[in-house]
Structure 1
Amino acid sequence: MKAVGIVGGERAFGGKTPKIKEDPRPLYLRVANAIRENIASGRFGDATRLPSEAELTRLFGVSRATVREALSALERDGLISRAHGKGTFARKPQFTLSPGQSRNRGFTETIREMGLIPGTSYLSFNWEPADHEFAQSLSVPVGSPLAVIKRVRTVNGDPVEYAIDWVPAKIIGEDMSAETFPESLFEYLRKQRGVVFGYSDLTIESVLPSAYMAGLLHLELNMPVLLVEEIYYTPEGSPILRCENYHRSDRYKFRIRV
């Protein structure tokens, strides 16, 4: 028997006919989610051309109008771009965050909820004495030990954030080290140290990265990053930790309610 070659559309989905999950959502959202999952998994990498509307209509067994609604939803979410006469192309996902969001769920949980794969590269863990500025902001004596954690956060293997955290020894525990550092700092503080997060003060500004940081985040030197400086407090107003997070400006946007 003559072998049947894989049609272009199936090839785009790994040689399989894509399936739509059965759930109460409108059909176009379920089609959009099926495409979204392939973008999240990396099957459709950045700038990868998606099958045509006609091909997607055939593959999913839905109407052309449903496919167009699905693509419009993905475009609104920043997951695809469409160029007239050229086609539809996948984009690296952009993340919308609300300041203080990590009080309820950390980086790992937030990225997983988006259907993406979080990762963390630990650059260093050191103990350093608090200078006057840090002692004042964290309400600890000058010279008291602070855990200084520097990490690169990744999504689907791509670096998206350079994070620096300063945590007093009385908060994180004096026996903490690079070898025992947890996957999620916030989850560890909540579950293992009994820390209750209440609120935070933060500033957001656009800055140019250093050559070192640009290398870590795979950026051009003239591409700005979003610097979020934040101090977290207990509900009673006691400082918990101080952090500086440098976000790739092409991958993050912030939503603020005023």
Structure 2
Amino acid sequence: MTTASEETRVPPRYIQVEETLRALLDTGGYRPGDKLPPEPELAAQIGVSRATLREALRSFEQQGIISRRQGVGTFVNPRPLYIDSGLETLESIEMLLQSRQLTPILRQRQVRSERALPKAAQRLNLKEGAPLTVLASTYVVADSPVAYLLEVVPTGVVDESTAAAWDMSLLDGLLQHRAFFDLGYGVAHIAPVHGSEEICAALDVDAQTPLFFIEQTVFTGAGTPCFYSRNYYLPQIFDFHVIRKLRE
């Protein structure tokens, strides 16, 4: 049974100071690497004792939010990159990252023409050996690789020269030029996998690192497959979820 005193219990003072300090770091213009004011000045700014401030700073240091250097000062650490996203909307990696005020950068990109192997031919409902345009791309955010995309499209939909001219993923190009491409929906399969040597090198991870793998086929509004991708994401950065509703 909850008592009135428990309902109105006030959190410890240093917890309140943590919340105030966190808000200060978020809104006070501090960037990674910036030095915080000396403890007496910071304590006066927040309106707490130095002892309480030290306790809050100690907690922040344990969380990796700040670093304290003996005789030098207290510095703001870079924030770990974390992206939480649903999978209900068909969107490109550029759209996903930009919606979170992140700037995606193409660090490596290969565009080539290939003949359809059995799996790609099956996914795209083509004959084996049909001409394909293939893009292999590594995406980077804040100098850290976050995803590797292997995208395949029939040459009759997007040829090699067109894909090479797009400074974006194939899916982003198709979505941006929707007036010319009839995109309807995507069917995705999700699994944890280990990457190949090429993929691990692109993402700067070792062969034992599990990756978030999404294999997707995009269809036209009429249900014709027009695009196929095999995308690899770093699970320590991406957390995908699906919203499930009750059966009607």
Could you say which TM-score interval applies, normalised by the shorter chain?
0.5 to 0.7
- Alignment-mate amino acid for residue 166 of structure 2: F
Count of aligned pairs between the two proteins: 208
Corresponding residue number in structure 2 for 1:186: 171
2:5 aligned partner: none
Among candidates 149, 162, 171, match of residue 176 of structure 1:
162
Could you list the runs of 5+ residues in structure 2 that have no partner in the other structure? 1-19, 69-75
Residue 157 of structure 2: SS of its match in structure 1? helix
User: Are residue 93 (structure 1) and residue 93 (structure 2) matched?
Assistant: no
- Cross-structure match for 1:244: 230
Aligned partner letter, 2:27: A
Q: Which runs of 4+ in 1 moved over 4 A?
A: 27-33, 48-59, 61-64, 86-90
AA in 2 matched with 1:165: E
Query: Whole-Å Cα distance in 2 between the matches of residues 55 and 239 of structure 1?
Result: 63
State the 1:118 CA deviation.
1.2
- Give the residue type in structure 2 aligned to 1:144: A
Q: Deviations over 1:148-207 (max 9, x none)?
A: 1000011112101111001111221464353x2332433422343622332211111111
The answer to whether the Cα contact below 8 Å between 1:82 and 1:89 also exists between their aligned partners in 2 is no
Amino acid at match of 2:177: Q
Give the structure 2 partner of residue 202 of structure 1. Answer: 188
For structure 1, the 5+ residue unaligned runs are: 1-26, 72-79
Percentage of identical aligned residues: 22
The TM-score with structure 2 as length reference comes to 0.67
**1:4-153 equivalent positions in 2, closer than 5 A:** 33-34=26-27, 43-44=31-32, 82=63, 90-99=78-87, 101=89, 103=90, 105-153=91-139
Per-residue deviation, residues 91-144 of structure 1 (Å, max 9, x unmatched): 32211122253x3x4222321221222111233111111123322210223222
State TM-score, norm by structure 1. 0.65
Verify the 8 A CA contact 1:138 1:242 in the aligned structure 2: yes
Quick one: distance in 2 between partners of 1:167 and 1:56? 57
Q: 1 CA distance for matches of 2:43 and 2:233?
A: 37
Give the secondary structure class of the aligned counterpart of 1:176: helix
1:115 and 1:134 map into 2 onto residues whose CA distance is 34
User: d(CA) in 2 for partners of 1:171 and 1:57?
Assistant: 62
What's the offset of the Cα at 1:237?
Answer: 1.1
Secondary structure, counterpart of 1:212 in structure 2: helix
Is this contact kept in 2: 1:229–1:244, CA < 8 A? yes
- 1:225 positional shift: 0.8
